Amino acid sequence: MYTLILITTEFAAAAHLMMSLVMFYLARRSVQFLSQAWIMLLICLMYCGALAFVATHDAIPQLGILHPVLLIYLLACSYLQSIYPLGLCMPGYLQWGRMWGYAVPALVLIFIYCIGASVGSNLAKVYELKDISEYFLSGDVVLRMISLLLSGYYIVNIFRLPHRLVRSMQLPNDLIAYGAALGIVSLLFVVITIRFDLVMLTIYMVLFTLVNMFLFFRILRPTVEAISYPDFRQVENPPTKEVITQSEADDFNEANLHRFEVMEYVMQHEQPFVDCNFNRERLCRLAGFNRHMALQSLRSQGYNDIHEYIMRYRVAELRRRIESGEITDLKDVTEVGFRSLRSATTSFERYENQDLQSYFDANKRG
């Protein structure tokens, strides 16, 4: 169990560090990512502290009920995660004044605990529910109850803020789902804080990291979608076999480019892709290359695979025919090689980054 805890803590620390570094890099161009970068970095530092503790101890002690270390982590994480949606939707709202004002109660509690630890005050040993009643009037237990209640307030905001924001602005559904998932994971840690268990702690760290990675990739999606696909290369005369053979001996990249030009010539002049049964085997046969060479040549020009290459041509032809008025009904998408309207809609949205029906309505003729 000790090894599993060590590996899980290391995974959580490394994942949050990676997310933080990427967001700091993106924040150089957009302030929207700055608060997320700091949040991920602070969480990473907390996990680094936990990792240092686990690595320097032979066993993890039983922390009991509402241990201050767990409560401080719960306070910090619930606070940071409750402002996460605000940083995405209203980056200008997260000024230092507002954040400090929102964090003051948590900071006061953490400061009191730090002062107590520095002067060597003893913590109440609370391992059973009956111990709470025994030490209830002690300052330590009172602070624990206040910390738990304040964490509950921040967790309520994790659930509440995305739903409040959606009333005043358009929010993606996955951001609301993230708030709900994070709130549920935070409630799981409340249970762990009340009744400490190493197995549940491991599950929590994995779930918490995965939920944050979900939003991280959601944030990166517009950046990825902004990366353009390779442009078609207009080819009037394909390279001869002699030219390709010579380039194979002279320059690997030039050979790939020449083979790619052969495929471009086939696709542009013969348009075999308008047949819905056209596939990679037929493309390789028409171009005169085996599948390995065809894929190697396409990837050298920025394509993922042969299927994507064929679909790009179908989408481009569909767009051309809509604009020219040759297609007056979306049921005719089969004329450019799609087997169904659903497949055409999916491919058009992926490669053109817009809805097919909306594009058709805006550009149809007659």
Mapping DSSP onto H, E and C, the string for 57-96 reads: CCCCCCCCCCCHHHHHHHHHHHHHHHCHHHHHHCHHHCCH
Stretch among 98-112, 297-311, 336-350 having the lowest mean pLDDT? 98-112
pLDDT band at 125 (very low <50, low <70, confident <90, very high): low
pLDDT band at 179 (very low <50, low <70, confident <90, very high): confident
Residue 98: its pLDDT value, please?
A: 66
AA identity, residue 211: V
Nearest alpha carbon to residue 15 among 213, 183, 178 = 213
Nearest alpha carbon to residue 50 among 40, 41, 60, 62 = 60
Residue 61: its pLDDT value, please?
A: 74
* In the predicted structure, residue 174 carries a pLDDT above the cut 90: no
Tokens of 117: 């630890």
Tokens of 90: 């209203």
- What is the helix (H) or strand (E) element at residue 20, kind and residue range? helix 2-27
* In the predicted structure, residue 173 carries a pLDDT above the cut 70: no
Domain ranges in the chain with CATH number 1.10.10.60 = 241-363
In CATH, the number for domain 2-225 is 1.20.1070
**Angstrom distance (rounded) from CA 151 to CA 358:** 46
Q: Tell me the angle at which helices 280-287 and 291-300 cross, rounded to the nearest 10 degrees.
A: 90
Residue that has been written with the tokens 């309520």 in this structure:
156
* In the predicted structure, residue 39 carries a pLDDT above the cut 70: yes
AA identity, residue 266: V
**Angstrom distance (rounded) from CA 239 to CA 252:** 15
AA identity, residue 21: L
Residue 244: its pLDDT value, please?
A: 85
* 220 contact partners, CB below 8 Å, separation of at least 6: 22
Residue 311: its pLDDT value, please?
A: 93
State percent of the chain over pLDDT 90. Answer: 21
Q: How many CB atoms lie within 10 A of CB 30?
A: 11
Residue 36: its pLDDT value, please?
A: 81
**Angstrom distance (rounded) from CA 363 to CA 244:** 42
Domain ranges in the chain with CATH number 1.20.1070 = 2-225
Residue 163: its pLDDT value, please?
A: 62
Q: Average pLDDT of 126-146?
A: 67
Residue that has been written with the tokens 């570094």 in this structure:
21
Residue 35: its pLDDT value, please?
A: 78
| Range picked from 36-40, 80-84, 273-277 for highest mean pLDDT | 273-277
Residue 162: its pLDDT value, please?
A: 64
- pLDDT tens digits, one per residue of 250-263: 888 888 899 999 99
- pLDDT tens digits, one per residue of 268-301: 999 999 999 999 999 999 998 899 989 999 998 8
Instruction: Please give the CATH topology (third level) of the domain spanning 241-363.
Output: Arc Repressor Mutant, subunit A (1.10.10)
